[in-house]
Amino acid sequence: MAAATFLAVFLGGVFGPGMLKSQWVGALKVSSPRVAHAPYYPTCSSAHAAGVYSLRAGEPGYREALDRDRDGLACEPYTPR
């Protein structure tokens, strides 16, 4: 009971009714782990220089602008016919 009372008094003092929304958000903010961003390749040549070939739709780094034939596979290696 003492722990519950202490917790209620403590939280009432920290998160009192007179706090502004911005203060609530700042008080509740928890540092989140860093999320790796998807690589960005301006051209397929730059993707190939990084050793990346055949980016599938939904994979990091895929963009429709890199998918010339719109088949869901970007920066395919060139194979002469």
pTM over 0.75: no
Q: What is the pLDDT along the chain (81 residues), one digit of tens a residue?
A: 566 555 555 555 555 555 555 554 555 555 555 656 889 999 999 999 999 999 999 999 999 999 999 999 999 987 777
- The strand pair at 55-56 and 73-74 is best described as antiparallel
Picking from 33, 52, 27, the residue whose alpha carbon sits closest to that of residue 41 is: 52
Residue 27 has what pLDDT?
54
